[in-house]
Structure 1
Amino acid sequence: MTRTIQRTPVSSQGDGRGGGLGQEPTDIQQDAEGRREPYKVLIVDDETHILKAVQRLFLGQGYHVLTAPSGAEAVEIFREHTIAVIISDQRMPGLSGAALLNYVRKKSPNTVRIMLTGNNDVATAIEAINQGEVFRFITKPWDHDEFLKIVGLAIEHHELLISKERYEEHIRAQNTKLSVLNAELSDLNEDLERRVEERTREVVSRQEEIERLYRELQGSFDATIKALVSIMELGEVHVIEHCQRTAERVRMFCELLELSDDECKEIERATLLHWIGLINAPPRVFEKPVEELDEEAKASWEFHTVLGQQAIHHVPALREPGRMILHYLRRHDDPSFGADQVDPATGQVYGEAFVRGCQILGICSTFERVRTGLRGNERTEVAGAVERGLKLLKEGAANGAFDPTLVKRFGEMVAGEMATTRTREVVVGFNELRPGMVLARPLETAQGIPVAPRDMIITDELIARLGRFQESNGLNEIRVWG
């Protein structure tokens, strides 16, 4: 879901050349009553009718829209304004869209970059990703509602980047103060015991503050993941449901293997985003085994790990999950992908935990992919999908694709679940939810917004998340397998 951003209404009239719409406000600031000026969005396209169309699209949306007919003029505007979001066409005379977004990335990293193009080719995508690290693509002609939703998500991402920067500055300042305090403590002698104790208490307090800020910073990264997941909701519905269900499966498997919390968290983050490269894939990619896909669908599948890794590479905290997405389909018997082998792209040794994480993600995703392809909703079909998924994993373990030991442990875990699963639907109230229950039907808010897919296993974390929906909007009828 996209949260609502309060904006100050802005007039929608403008001359289309850098002057923006309505009376020119200064860069983002607070007025006398403490309200923020509207965010500035820069549209760059050499076609005048495109600029006018976008201006009409943003009427009444609360943004301050600036326009430029070329990359060179956009650069001039950028030197005079603080831009929250830039939307640039790719093919323009002189400075290309990819080159312009690369300039913006270097000069203003917090400006979110969106590519507007009518060329849906891989070369354009790779150039834009590598040079400008774009947030999203919008193709011509566009859907108005989707266009506005993407810009709303871009504004949220812009706010996250600013918050992250502030947190990091605060932490650096606190670390500097802590270093000064430690230097002072080292100079005290035995005659200053009382002062040493007072200073020590102060250091402990500062350390707790730093740890609190670090937890908030980690929370901002989790918010980044949620923003990316919300972007995935714009694509094929199979993508988000598969990733959420696979993440729950990964969490259970990691607990069974007794892996550390940090290792589990890294794999789970990669799992939530591992199909982000399939957002625009045709539906048939999800409905057939990989070996039965046609050439177009197979190309989408084979390229999705690269697109997924590139999409989150510019977020420092997500670079390791991005590497895991890139390698999660690597075979267990691949001699170049062992724990002691070197990643040619980074020069780093893969490491035992990383290779194990890729295998866990690959096993869980392969198992859940069978269920993702189902069109029916009968419980018997789900049971059949479980059997087919286990069969695929056993075949993969036999031919070297998967680690046989991990596949065996995974099979034992699923067998234990199946032994306790019954086929009767039971209606329960929110206060009756308990960890271990399994949703018999997709769960929605009272407004019909989906919040959890069918067959998701109830955990303490999920109950807490559902509780927030229950308090704010209410939940529809909850049905579990009894």
Structure 2
Amino acid sequence: MGDPDVVTASLLPGVLLVDAQAQILQRLQQLLEPHPYRLHFARDPAQALHVMASCEVDLVISSAHLPQMDGPTLLAQIHQQYPLTTRILLTGDPDLQLITKAINEGEIYRYLNKPWNDQELLQAVHQALEHQHCERERQRLEALARQQNSELKLLNAQLEKHVAARTAELQQTADMLDLAYEELKHSYATGAELFSLLVNQRLPVGKQTNRRVIELVRAYCTIQGLGDVLQRDLAMAAALHNIGKLSWSDSMMVTPADQLHPHQRERYRAYPQQSESLLMTLEPVQDAARLIRHHQEHWDGTGFPDHLKGPAIPLGARLLKLAVDFIELQCGLILERRMNSDEALVFIRKYAGRLYDPDLVEGFIQVCSVYLCDVTLGDPAVRVMGTRELVAGMILARNLNADNGMLLLNAGKVLSLPLVDKLIAFETMEGARYSVFVKLPREERVSA
């Protein structure tokens, strides 16, 4: 009998680490060695291909910059020769052309930036191996189905009485295949969300929108009872809608859209189409890519890139625009002034029929009222008023801030006539127009 430790080690997934720098390989070794993997190392592409030929490798993690050939070219060659091996790219700079090459030719599972976050890299390795296991299991089940189908044809002529039992067994196998395929599609959706976190790393914490857009879209789909296919496409579109911004400078990434220079606006208007182009080679995300392309179209036809109008805009794209604008208005990425959630919804309601599908706006506001604890606009007792509409006895439903961010009045404040007069005077002096969220006095609620 063989050594049990040797047998156990041979069952562990093999991970090949490729980097020209010994210190990088040493850091990766220190990070991964405590985990149940068989580690292999290579300093250049030739050595990596030799390891692939002589060892069983499940996952390759390669640096983007290597001697002789770059990382994407190496991963593309490994993909051709060893299609079942999962591939991850490590890159020290956000070279969009290099990343595109890795996605299109190497069909990488994902890429990570150098320097990496240890927990993120460990999670990526774990998920990549889980993804690969799912794919292999799917192929195994497909092969099993083909084998059993062939056996059924041979047995059918001899054992007619077993047809019903064999058919039931095949149905069970088909169900397992469907489950495996659904898991594979779910892996794509999960991968899209993980990739979106990389896009977020280009932004300061206060301007990171992807996670909030994903969660809001998912809540809308659940509350409105949208179909599974549209839910999945919307979730992936929400995760990847701004991938086309990766080539932007850091300053442009955080500049409000209405503050961009004319030459920057051209790049801004191109990002939905560029995002779509990066994703179209991946078959499971092509429908999501179409939603991304059109999520900046306007209901009145003034949007981009194709100036679609009204119902010609895909439903998912109309929903995605509502979610993206709602979050970006609060992060100061559309207008220079950051809005609170209620102000953002007032803005969306104001532009219903121009920017947004008017049939979706009120439902979207209700979803936000249910999903977000800081939204008061969905409360029937709350009204949005200008300062000259205010009367004594009204209660502020949320904090009132000046345009420069200074707190003027706290939520819960009961308005008096002198206080209303002061607000009007301050508004006039500042040259602003405030939207005041108030709760009506009880007797006015009843009459309303």
Same fold (TM over 0.5): yes
- Change over 3 Å in CA distance of 1:113–1:301 after alignment to 2: farther
CA contact (8 A) 2:275 2:292 kept: no
Confirm or deny that 1:268 pairs with 2:218: no
CA distance in 1, matches of 2:313, 2:80: 31
Aligned to 2:60: 86
The correspondence for 2:373, drawn from 413, 435, 440, is: 440
State the shift of 1:214 in Å. 0.9
Q: Does structure 1 residue 386 correspond to structure 2 residue 345? A: yes
Aligned residue in 2 for 1:226:
190
Alignment of 1:62-211 (within 5 A): 62-140=36-114, 142-143=115-116, 146-175=117-146, 177-178=148-149, 181=152, 198-211=162-175
Paired residue secondary structure (2:17)? strand
The 8 Å contact of residues 110 and 162 in structure 1, kept in 2 or not, is answered as no
- SS for the counterpart of 1:120 is coil
**CA deviation after TM superposition for structure 1 residue 215, in Å:** 2.4
Tell me which amino acid in the other structure corresponds to 2:321.
Answer: G
In 2: Cα distance, 1:264 partner to 1:173 partner: 32
Contact 2:76 2:106 in 1 (8 A): yes
Q: Sort the Cα spacing of 1:167 and 1:56 in 2 relative to 1 into closer, same or farther, 3 A.
A: closer
Q: Secondary structure at the match of 1:92?
A: coil
Please report how far the alpha carbon of residue 72 of structure 1 lies from its aligned counterpart in structure 2 after TM superposition: 1.6
2:287 match? 320
Equivalent pairs, count: 358
Equivalent residue number for residue 45 of structure 1: 19
Aligned residues of 1:367 and 1:392 also touching (Cα < 8 A) = no
Alignment of 1:403-482 (within 5 A): 407-414=357-364, 437-440=370-373
In 1, the alpha carbon distance for the partners of 2:176 and 2:52 equals: 36
Q: 1:87 & 1:381 partners in 2: Cα distance?
A: 43
Q: Is the 8 A contact 1:133 1:311 kept in 2?
A: no
Task: State how far apart, in whole Å, the 1-side matches of 2:219 and 2:193 are.
Answer: 15
Task: Please give the alpha-carbon distance, in whole angstroms, between the structure 2 residues aligned to 1:309 and 1:151.
Answer: 30
> Does the aligned pair in 1 maintain the 2:296–2:305 contact within 8 Å?
no
Contact 1:71–1:95 at 8 Å: present in 2 too?
yes
Deviations 1:247-293 (A, max 9, x none): 322454564xxxxx354344334345334727968887787653334
Q: What's the counterpart of residue 425 of structure 2?
A: none
Shift in Å at residue 167 of structure 1? 1.9
In 2, distance between residues paired with 1:354 and 1:59? 51
Residue 345 of structure 2 aligns with an amino acid whose one-letter code is: V
Q: Deviations over 1:283-308 (max 9, x none)?
A: 87787653334677985884466457
Check 1:37–1:267 CA distance in 2 against 1; reply closer, same or farther (3 A cut): closer
The unaligned stretches of length 5 or more in structure 1 are 1-25, 189-194, 256-260, 340-351, 375-379, 398-406, 422-436, 442-453, 458-482
Distance 1:240 1:85, change over 3 A: same
Offset, 1:218: 0.5
Q: Secondary structure at the match of 2:69?
A: coil
Deviation string 1:85-124 (CA, Å, 9 cap, x unpaired) is: 3232333332222211111121223333233333433332
For 2:245 and 2:41, the matched residues in 1 are separated by 29
**Letter of the 1:290 counterpart:** A
Q: CA deviation at 1:386?
A: 0.9
How far apart in 1 are the matches of 2:75 and 2:341?
46
Question: In the superposition, relative to structure 1, how do residues 169 and 248 fare at CA in structure 2: closer, same or farther (>3 Å)?
Answer: same
Give, in angstroms, the shift of residue 129 of structure 1: 2.5
For the residue of structure 2 that corresponds to 1:395, the secondary structure is coil
Asked if the contact 1:242–1:372 (Cα under 8 Å) also holds between the matched residues in 2, the reply is no
Q: CA deviation at 1:205?
A: 4.2
Q: Is the 8 A contact 1:243 1:274 kept in 2?
A: no
Equivalent pair of 1:250/1:361 in contact (CA under 8 Å):
no
Residue 244 of structure 1: aligned partner: 215
Candidates 178, 203, 207, aligned match of 1:214: 178
TM-score (norm 2): 0.63
> Shift of the alpha carbon at 1:243?
1.4
Q: Deviations over 1:132-154 (max 9, x none)?
A: 233344444x14xx145224313
Relative distance call for 1:84 and 1:175 in structure 2 (3 A) is closer
Inter-partner Cα distance in structure 1 for 2:236 and 2:92 = 31
Structure 2: where are the runs of 5+ without partners? Answer: 202-207, 334-338, 379-448
Instruction: From the superposition, tell whether residues 75 and 389 of structure 1 become closer, same or farther in structure 2 (CA, over 3 Å).
Output: same
Q: Name the amino acid aligned to 1:92.
A: L
Change in Cα spacing, 1:99 to 1:311, as seen in structure 2 (3 Å) is same
State the percentage of identical aligned residues: 16
User: In the alignment, is the contact (CA less than 8 A) between 2:233 and 2:288 conserved in 1?
Assistant: yes
1:290: which partner in 2? 257
Counterpart of 1:94 in 2: which secondary structure? coil
Q: SS of 2:83's equivalent?
A: coil
- Displacement, 1:410? 0.2
Indicate the larger mover: 46-55 or 98-107.
Answer: 46-55
Question: Match of 1:396, SS?
Answer: coil
Whole-angstrom CA distance in 1 between matches of 2:148 and 2:308? 43
User: How far did 1:324 drift?
Assistant: 3.6
SS in 1 for 2:359: helix
- Aligned-pair CA distance for 1:175: 4.9
Q: Using the TM superposition, give the Cα deviation of residue 245 of structure 1 relative to its aligned residue in structure 2, in angstroms.
A: 0.8
> What is the rounded CA distance, in whole Å, between the counterparts of 1:254 and 1:353 in structure 2?
22
| Greater C-alpha Rg | 2
Q: Which amino acid aligns with 2:106?
A: G
Letter in 2 for 1:365: V
Q: 1:177: Cα distance to partner?
A: 2.9
Corresponding position of 2:405: none
